Amino acid sequence: MHLENLKKRSIRDREEAIKRARQQLIEDLLPVIDAFKMGMDEAIKADPEGPIVNGFKMAINQMEKTFEEYGLVCIDEVGGAFDPKVQEAIGYEDGEEDDLVLKIIRKGYRLKDHLIRPASVIVSQKTENNQDS
C-alpha cells in the first residue's frame, strides 16, 4: 500500500512540474508574440500585402495555434463589460455608458483557469452630458 501511494504521489508531482514548466514557457513566450505583432503592424505600414507581412502572419498564426493546443485563451473582447478579474484599465474615454471596454491596448491571456496576464484596456466613462437627470 505504501509503495502504491508513493507511485501516485510521484506521478502527481511530475504532472505538476510539467504544468509549471509549460506555464513558465508560455509566460516567457508572450513578449515574443507581442514583438511579432508589433513588427507586423510596422510592416503593414510599409507594404500591407507584402511578403514580410505574410511571413509575420504565418508565424503569429502558428504560435497562436500551438498556444491554443496547450489551453491558452486570449482575452481581447471589445464592447463587453469591464471585468477587473481579467482586465486592467489603463485609461478612460468618454462614452454613453460606464465600464464598457472600448479598446484593447495589450491582449491578455489565461491558461485554462489561471490568469497569465490581464488585458490592458481603455474603458468608457459616462460623461456629464450623457448622464440621466
What region does 79 belong to: left with phi over 0, alpha with psi -120 to 50, or beta?
A: left
What is the reported pTM?
A: 0.76
Phi, psi torsion values for 79, nearest 5 degrees = 100, -15
* Per-residue pLDDT reduced to its tens digit, 77-128: 898 999 999 999 999 999 888 899 999 999 999 998 889 999 999 999 987 7
Q: What is the mean pLDDT of residues 50-70?
A: 92
